[in-house]
């Protein structure tokens, strides 16, 4: 009887020791994982924010494949809505969006909004990222740089309506704006499109922020909207870090990882400055 009691006590003690060890290892693993996550998210200054700015014929949803991966890297992300009524109106809207942030910022512009992100003068903006984006110099218009080089045969005709807004023909999304995206994605982009006012592309640009801030440029080598030669011209004029990829005009749809990589590169190199 005493022997069984002794063996039972010994077994309980052994089990307790084993459970204690398992619990300790579990806590260590959890702490290690949390430390790894802290290390991953701690590489950027507090409240570091990526502000994504949509182009013409789009809204913030065009960045849907980009937002969560950036957040998983420890960055706060917001999309700035533009009225697309004039370049100055859009710059004012972007400035209001920046008021929602409190730390260092990277501005990311696609196509038309490249002109918008450069029109805002804000000290907390540490760098600019251009995704197949337009970059007029002071006094230039968006239209001037857009037509700098020969247009692609697939580029659609853009004619303003009675209200002086330009809508994109639905089939143009599959032919020119997002020809490497899935047919479903192109159809969705066409359905949610928002028009751009003629004034946006005819208003002279102010002194651009890219003259004083570091810039990155993702050249879309298979772009059918903005000639890749034009993109390289603008990128070189800015002194941008050029990152060419064989993508179409809206790589956020078909190949979002190349967009994410360029944004993260800019964030790592500029936000801590």
pLDDT digits (tens, 9 = 90+) for 40-59: 445 899 999 999 999 999 99
Q: Any bridge partners for residue 251, and if so which?
A: none
pTM of the model: 0.84
**Model pLDDT, residue 257:** 98
Residue indicated by tokens 């192109």: 186
Answer yes or no: is pLDDT of 222 > 60.
yes
**Model pLDDT, residue 9:** 44
Answer yes or no: is pLDDT of 22 > 90.
no
Domain extents for the chain? 1-41, 46-270
Per-residue pLDDT tens digits for 81-119 = 999 999 999 999 999 999 999 999 999 999 999 999 999
Confidence band of 272 (pLDDT split at 50, 70, 90): confident
CA distance 232 to 240: 10
**Model pLDDT, residue 153:** 83
Which CATH class for the 46-270 domain?
A: alpha beta
Outline where DSSP puts E strands in 102-259.
105-110, 125-131, 165-166, 196-197, 215-220, 241-245
**Model pLDDT, residue 152:** 83
State residue 146 phi and psi, 5-degree precision. Answer: -60, -40
Reference 116, options 93, 146, 133, 91; nearest CA is 91
């Amino acid at each position: 009887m005493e022997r069984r009691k002794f063996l039972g006590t010994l077994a309980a003690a052994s089990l307790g020791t084993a459970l204690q060890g398992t619990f300790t290892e579990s806590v260590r693993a959890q702490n290690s994982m949390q430390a790894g996550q802290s290390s991953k998210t701690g590489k950027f200054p507090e409240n570091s924010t990526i502000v994504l700015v949509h182009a013409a014929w789009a809204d913030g949803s065009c960045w849907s494949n980009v937002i969560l991966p950036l957040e998983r890297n420890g960055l706060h992300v917001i999309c700035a809505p533009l009225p697309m009524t004039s370049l100055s109106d859009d710059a004012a809207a972007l400035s209001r969006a920046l008021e929602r942030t409190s730390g260092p910022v990277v501005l990311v512009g696609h196509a038309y909004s490249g002109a918008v992100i450069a029109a805002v003068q804000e000290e907390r903006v540490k760098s600019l990222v251009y995704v197949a984006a337009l970059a007029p110099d002071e006094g230039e218009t968006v239209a001037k740089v857009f037509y700098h080089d020969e247009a692609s045969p697939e580029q659609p005709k853009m004619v303003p309506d009675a209200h002086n807004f330009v809508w994109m023909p639905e089939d143009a999304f599959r032919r020119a704006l997002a020809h490497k995206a899935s047919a479903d994605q192109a159809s969705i982009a066409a359905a949610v499109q928002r028009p751009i006012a003629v004034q946006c592309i005819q208003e002279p640009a102010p002194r651009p922020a890219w003259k004083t801030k570091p810039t990155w440029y993702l050249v879309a080598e298979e772009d059918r909207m903005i000639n890749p030669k034009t993109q390289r011209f603008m990128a070189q004029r800015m002194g941008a870090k050029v990152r060419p990829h064989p993508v179409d005009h809206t790589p956020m749809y078909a190949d979002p990882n190349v967009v994410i990589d360029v944004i993260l590169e800019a964030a790592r190199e500029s936000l801590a400055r």
